[in-house]
Chains A and B, each alone.
Chain A
Amino acid sequence: MSVTLKSILPLSLIVALLAGAGLVQQSLNRDRDQLGLTRVQPLENAPPVLAFTTVALGGFRGLISNALWMRATDLQDEDKFFEMAQLADWITKLEPHFVQVWLVQAWNMAYNISVKFKESSPGQFPDRWRWVKAGVELLRDDGLRYNPNETLIYRELAWFFQHKIGQNLDDASMYYKQQWANDMAKVFAKKKPNLDELIHPQTADQKDRARLLRETYKMDPQFMKEVDERYGPLEWRLPEAHAIYWAALGLEKAKENPTKIKEDDLITLRRVIYQSMLLSFQRGRLVSNPFAEAFEFGPNLDIIPKVNFAYEQAAQEDEKNRDHILKAHRNFLRDAVYFLYEYNRLADAGQWYKHLATKYPDKMLLDGKTNSLPANLTLDQYAVARVQGDVSDSGGHDRTKGIVEGMLVNSYRSMALGEDGPAAGFRLLAQRVWSAYESGIPKERHSAIGLNPFEDMDQEVRKRMLDSKEGEPPEVRAVLRTKLGEPPETSAPAAATNAPPEKVSNR
Chain B
Amino acid sequence: MQPLLAIAWLTWKAAFRFRLFLVVAVLLLGSVVGLPLLIKDDGTARGFTQILLTYTLGTISALLGLSTLWLACGTLARDIEDCTVQVVAIKPIARWQIWLGKWLGIMSLNAALLALSGASVYGLLQWRATRLPADQQKVLRNEVLVARGSVKPASLDKEIQEETDRLLRERLQKNPDSRADIAEARKQILEQIKAEYQVVPPGYMHLWQVELGTAKQIARGQPLFLRLKFNAADKSSSGTFDGRLRVGVPRETPLWHSEVMSLAPDTFHEFEVPANYDDKGVLTVAFLNANNTSLLFPLEDGLEILYRQGGFGLNFVRGLGIIFCWMALLAALGLAAASFLSFPVAAFLSLGVLTLALSSGTISNAVAEGTLMGFNSETGRSGHSVVDVVAIPVFRAVLGVINLAKDFSPIDALSTGRCVTWGELGRAFGQIVLLLGGGIGLIGIIIFNRRELATAQVQ
Contact = CB atoms under 8 A, between A and B. Distances in A.
A171 B242 CA distance: 10
A473 B333 CA distance: 77
A95 interface: no
A134 B42 CA distance: 8
A79 B267 contact: yes
B288 to A, nearest CB: 15
A463 interface: no
B42 A130 contact: yes
Contacts of A81: 42, 47
B263 A82 contact: no
A127 B268 CA distance: 14
Nearest to B241: A171
Interface string A156-200: 000000000000011110000000000000000000000000000
Interface string A321-332: 000000000000
B121 to A, nearest CB: 16
Interface residues of A, number: 24
A118 B243 CA distance: 11
B99 to A, nearest CB: 37
A86 interface: yes
Interface in B13-54: 39-44, 46-48, 50-51, 54
Contacts of A475: none
Which of A89, A115, A169, A170 has the most chain B CB within a 10 Å cutoff? Answer: A115
Contacts of A86: 39-41, 51
B40 A89 contact: yes
A80 B259 CA distance: 26
B135 to A, nearest CB: 10
Given A82-B47, A86-B51, A169-B238, A118 B41 contact: no
B382 interface: no
Interface in A234-288: none
B451 interface: no
B239 interface: yes
Given A118-B262, A118-B269, A119-B262, A82 B40 contact: no
Contact of A130 (B43, B54, B240): B43
Interface in B277-335: none
Which of A81, A85, A118 has the most chain B CB within a 10 Å cutoff? Answer: A118
Interface in A119-143: 119, 122, 127, 130-131, 134
Contacts of A82: 41-42, 44, 46-48, 50-51, 54
A461 interface: no
A118 B240 CA distance: 9
Contact of A118 (B43, B238, B261): B261
A86 B44 CA distance: 13
B264 interface: yes
A170 B241 CA distance: 11
B41 A115 contact: no
Contacts of B50: 80, 82
A115 B239 contact: yes
A170 B238 CA distance: 5
Contacts of A111: 239
A86 B46 CA distance: 15
A83 B262 CA distance: 24
B237 interface: yes
A110 B237 CA distance: 15
Interface in A77-103: 79-86, 89
B44 A130 contact: yes
B259 A122 contact: yes
A171 B240 contact: yes
A149 to B, nearest CB: 26
A79 to B, nearest CB: 5
B262 A84 contact: no
Contacts of B40: 85-86, 89
Contacts of A171: 238, 240, 262
Contacts of B42: 81-82, 84-85, 130-131, 134
Contacts of A84: 42
Contacts of A122: 259
A170 B239 contact: yes
Which of B40, B42, B48, B263 has the most chain A CB within a 10 Å cutoff? Answer: B42
Interface string A415-450: 000000000000000000000000000000000000
B41 to A, nearest CB: 6
Nearest to B237: A169
Contacts of A80: 50
A214 interface: no
Interface string B213-238: 00000000000000000000000011
A127 B264 CA distance: 13
A117 B268 CA distance: 9
A116 interface: yes
A442 to B, nearest CB: 41
A221 B20 CA distance: 57
Contacts of A127: 44
A89 B38 CA distance: 11
Contact of A83 (B51, B239, B263, B268): B51
A83 B42 CA distance: 7
A115 B269 CA distance: 11
A118 B263 contact: yes
Contacts of B39: 86
Given A86-B40, A170-B239, A116 B46 contact: no
A172 B262 contact: yes
Contacts of A131: 42
B41 A119 contact: no
A130 B267 CA distance: 18
A117 B259 CA distance: 16
A122 B242 CA distance: 13
A122 B244 CA distance: 12
B33 to A, nearest CB: 18
Nearest to A75: B54
B238 A79 contact: no
Interface in A383-408: none
Which of A81, A86, A111, A122 has the most chain B CB within a 10 Å cutoff? Answer: A86
Contacts of A85: 40-43
A92 to B, nearest CB: 11
A171 B42 CA distance: 21
Contacts of A170: 238-240
Nearest to B53: A82
Interface string A45-86: 000000000000000000000000000000000011111111
Contacts of B51: 82-83, 86
A388 to B, nearest CB: 29
Nearest to A130: B43
Contacts of B259: 122
Interface in B325-354: none
Contacts of B269: 118
Contacts of A117: 264
A259 B66 CA distance: 52
A115 B240 CA distance: 7
A363 B33 CA distance: 70
Given A81-B42, A89-B40, A115 B237 contact: no
9 contacts: A79-B268, A80-B50, A81-B42, A82-B42, A85-B41, A85-B42, A111-B239, A115-B264, A116-B264
Given A84-B42, A85-B40, 11 more contacts: A79-B267, A81-B47, A86-B39, A115-B238, A116-B264, A118-B269, A119-B262, A134-B42, A134-B43, A169-B237, A170-B240
Interface of B: 39-44, 46-48, 50-51, 54, 237-240, 259, 261-264, 267-269
Task: Give 9 nearest A-B pairs by CB, closest first.
Answer: A82-B47, A171-B262, A115-B239, A116-B267, A86-B40, A82-B50, A115-B264, A116-B264, A79-B268
